[in-house]
A = this chain, B = another copy of it.
Amino acid sequence: MQSKPTTIKEIARILNISPSSVSRGLHDHPSIGAVTREKIKQLAKSLNYEPNKAAILFQKGKTYTIGVILPELSEHFFSIAISAIEDEAMKKNYTVIFAQSHDRYELEVKLVEKMKNQRVDGLLVSISKHTCNFDHFEKVNSFNIPVVFFDRIPPLKNVHYVASGLESATVKAVNYLLKKGHRSIGMINGPGTLYASEERKDGYKQAITFNRLKFDPSLVINCDLTEQGTIDAAEKFLKHKRKPTAIVAFNDYVALFLIKHFKKMNVIDDFDIVSYANLPIISYLDHAPVASVEQYPYLQGQKAVNILLDLIHSPNTENQAYYNTIVDADLIVNETNY
């Protein structure tokens, strides 16, 4: 009942040739005659030969495996991104292993170490919310394992990354609201420490001043992204002397809390909301955001993995160039509103 996988040695024994010839034959090496080559290939097929990957990996010192570390797989953005990574890696015959940092710095450090020990050929990372120190990645680099960051990227110069252009997307979002006639626009931003918050704020400012309006800092409220934090921010807007008529929410979760609260307060119709997409079904809500910033997680995943494979295959000479790829985010106007 139990089968043992066929090996090159076995094929060699049956054909009365050397294992090396079999290996070369299977790889179309020129120094193997066409007749022998075909015999080898035929027998291999009929015996259902499959190269023992473990042996090849070991021999070549390559694993044909890329590691992915991200904060939380259950977040829609990441589940789509890793889906893309897997699809793309699969095409190139690479295997993906992954692990979640659950947004904890110490765990992330351990995972990076583990991936290194697994001898992954390269690493794709979206850093945890609380990662401020990046030495663990330096260590990986010193083992000549390339690292590409995506989405949540560190504020460093000398790294490869793929991220979305949140600043220009925010400009688009605010412009859209301005064009709709809004003159006082609020923004519920994330914690000030996040790079993503900075980008949103900069985009907001840029759009406001470009349209010759005055930037009012009190209209941009930092928030811890919890439900309570969102409610607090909402209340500030409701009591604001220049009560906004539109709000840019940090993400769909915030938008959700906001909508819930505004409905409860019976003021939902006083606001147009724009958000950054990460909950696919939010557009089904009754008072869904009028527009969403789409960050194309699938595309980001694709680009990140392709860059990584590039780095893996490029000669490991000192390549001084760093890939800094921005995936343009688009403003999607929600058509299903009725």
Contact = CB atoms under 8 A, between A and B. Distances in A.
Interface of A: 1-3, 5, 50-55, 57-58, 61, 63, 65, 72-74, 76, 79-80, 82-83, 86-87, 90, 95-100, 116-119, 142-144, 256, 259-260, 279, 281-282, 284-286, 316
Given A58-B57, A63-B54, A74 B76 contact: yes
Number of this chain's copies in the complex = 2
Contacts of A100: 83, 86-87
Given A54-B54, A118-B53, A284-B260, A142 B279 contact: no
A262 B302 CA distance: 39
Q: Which of A57, A73, A83, A285 has the most CB of B within 10 A?
A: A73
Given A63-B54, A95-B97, A281-B282, A83 B90 contact: no
B87 A117 contact: no
A277 B316 CA distance: 49
Q: In terms of DSSP, what is the predominant structure of the interface of chain A?
A: mixed
A282 B213 CA distance: 39
Nearest to A65: B97
Contacts of A144: 2
A3 B117 contact: no
Nearest to A282: B281
B58 A86 contact: no
